[in-house]
Structure 1
Amino acid sequence: MIKQYVIYRRVSTRKQGESGLGLEAQDRDIDLYLQNYESSEFEVLNTFVDVESGSLTDRPQLIKAMNLARQSGATLLVSKLDRLSRRVSFIASLLEDPKIRLKVACMPHADKFQLHIYAALAEQERDFISARTKAALAQAKARGTKLGGLRDSTGERNKIICQQAQERADRLEHIVMPLVQQKKTTRQIADALNAAGVQTARGGQWQSGQVSRLIGRLRKK
């Protein structure tokens, strides 16, 4: 019996959608899953792509993908859980839908319970990061930094973002710099980070340009 799949991909910005950034990484994950973890003969009924925020649940292409999966009995396949949604409530409702079977390429052996737990933990982490940023802004205001105007507030926020980026870079120094010393390319380093399960700040996969910026931060120390 041929196993059927409906593939869904999502990027957050029009620029990413037009350039292929993000979509290429999702395609790679999905291909890896189908070639290495699907032992049966299979066919892809259709592929749907949204250029929308993950917080939205009424994305038009997602609705089409879910409807096709329900009608055909095919498995809905995504590269990562956050490509489907960043809302744990939405993911939970989808997992409870008896007419939808879901597979996440980068978590090939995860069952419904594990996917639910992963979604809940990811949402908690995003909430914590948001709270941490707000706390840092409040501390800056308490120190006398003027945050009343848009420019001042944005400037202080950018400082915090830069500081957090440097902290993440420092944590990866012991992995990245030995590879740099071995004359590895930024593409090879990105592949090594992805293979090791190290995610970017946004929870995605590494690209060559991101590695270049990471190395630049480490070299400026």
Structure 2
Amino acid sequence: MKQYVIYRRVSTEEQGKSGLGLDAQNRDIKLFRANFSEEPHEVLAEFEDHLSGKHDARPELQKALDLVRKTGAELLVSKLDRLSRKVSFIATLMDDPKVKLRVASMPQADKFQLHIYAALAEQEREFISARTKAALAEAKAKGTKLGGLRPKTDARNKAIQANARARAEKVAGLVQPLRAQGATFKAIADTLNASGVPTARGGRWQPSQVKRVLERLEAAE
């Protein structure tokens, strides 16, 4: 019988207490088990860390890996960055013959594909960081005053962002698995429309809206 050890991670203690991020991970794992896992299967144990993915020393992850090595079960995570944001850490795990890894949002991906994905994701994060720093430096050089939003403006912006993330979460269970399987933004929009799922304003989905939803879900995690 197929056996899994489930691992989840959120970045802060506050996220762990509020459930922010955990609902999405639980949904992905549940979807994988229902639609992509071998049957029958069982979950041996579940572990959860409330730490940044930049830290390799995570006690619950270590417990999960110890159990995986001992039993031969597969380590099941919702997304690869829930395991780690460092490609070197992921590569080390993949080189371990006693560790079997399964990513719910990429159910058909093998170790080679996961390694490539981790490397590309790390490069993208480094580029975004460098681009942000360059933009701030350029703005400062031009005399632009950085930061300092009025309290009401800042609160309104945060409320708008929170509402957008909440709307994105409602369709995450459909759009993320489809995207993980290689579906285009247009194909996902067509699926949502065919399923009778309306947009936030009650209209029909467009590819650009699907793209924004996926970007919000990525940022929230």
In structure 1, what is the equivalent of residue 126 of structure 2?
Answer: 127
User: In the aligned structure 1, how far is the partner of 2:110 from the partner of 2:220?
Assistant: 21
Q: What are the equivalent positions in structure 2 for 1:1-221 lying under 5 Å apart? A: 2-145=1-144, 154-155=147-148, 179-182=199-202, 193=210, 198-200=214-216, 202-204=218-220
Give the unaligned 5+ runs of structure 2.
169-185, 190-197
Tell whether the 8 Å contact from 2:2 to 2:38 is kept in structure 1 after alignment. Answer: no
Q: What one-letter code is carried by the residue in structure 2 that aligns with 1:123?
A: E
1:204 and 1:96, CA in 2 relative to 1: closer, same or farther beyond 3 A?
farther
Question: Helix, strand or coil: the match of 1:144?
Answer: coil
RMSD: 3.3
Identity %, equivalent residues? 58
Tell whether the 8 Å contact from 2:12 to 2:50 is kept in structure 1 after alignment. Answer: yes
TM-score by length of 2: 0.71
Tell whether the 8 Å contact from 2:53 to 2:81 is kept in structure 1 after alignment. Answer: yes
Aligned-residue offset at 1:155: 4.1
User: In the aligned structure 2, how far is the partner of 1:133 from the partner of 1:114?
Assistant: 29
Cα shift readout 1:6-35 (whole Å, capped 9, x = no counterpart)? 000000011110011111110110011011
User: In the aligned structure 2, how far is the partner of 1:140 from the partner of 1:81?
Assistant: 35
In structure 1, what is the equivalent of residue 178 of structure 2?
Answer: none
User: In the aligned structure 1, how far is the partner of 2:210 from the partner of 2:22?
Assistant: 18
In structure 2, what is the equivalent of residue 149 of structure 1?
Answer: none
Give runs of ≥4 in structure 1 deviating > 3 Å.
201-205
User: In the aligned structure 2, how far is the partner of 1:49 from the partner of 1:111?
Assistant: 24
User: In the aligned structure 2, how far is the partner of 1:76 from the partner of 1:125?
Assistant: 25
Q: Flag the structure with more relative contact order, 1 or 2, with Cα contacts below 8 A and sequence separation at least 6.
A: 2
User: In the aligned structure 1, how far is the partner of 2:217 from the partner of 2:102?
Assistant: 24
1:54 and 1:75, CA in 2 relative to 1: closer, same or farther beyond 3 A?
same
Q: What one-letter code is carried by the residue in structure 2 that aligns with 1:80?
A: K
Q: What one-letter code is carried by the residue in structure 1 that aligns with 2:18?
A: S
User: In the aligned structure 1, how far is the partner of 2:141 from the partner of 2:102?
Assistant: 47
Aligned-residue offset at 1:81: 0.2
1:145 and 1:183, CA in 2 relative to 1: closer, same or farther beyond 3 A?
closer
User: In the aligned structure 2, how far is the partner of 1:37 from the partner of 1:197?
Assistant: 24
Cα shift readout 1:24-80 (whole Å, capped 9, x = no counterpart)? 110110011011011321110100000000000110000110010000100000000
Q: What one-letter code is carried by the residue in structure 2 that aligns with 1:50?
A: D
Give the unaligned 5+ runs of structure 1.
147-151, 206-221
1:6 and 1:31, CA in 2 relative to 1: closer, same or farther beyond 3 A?
same
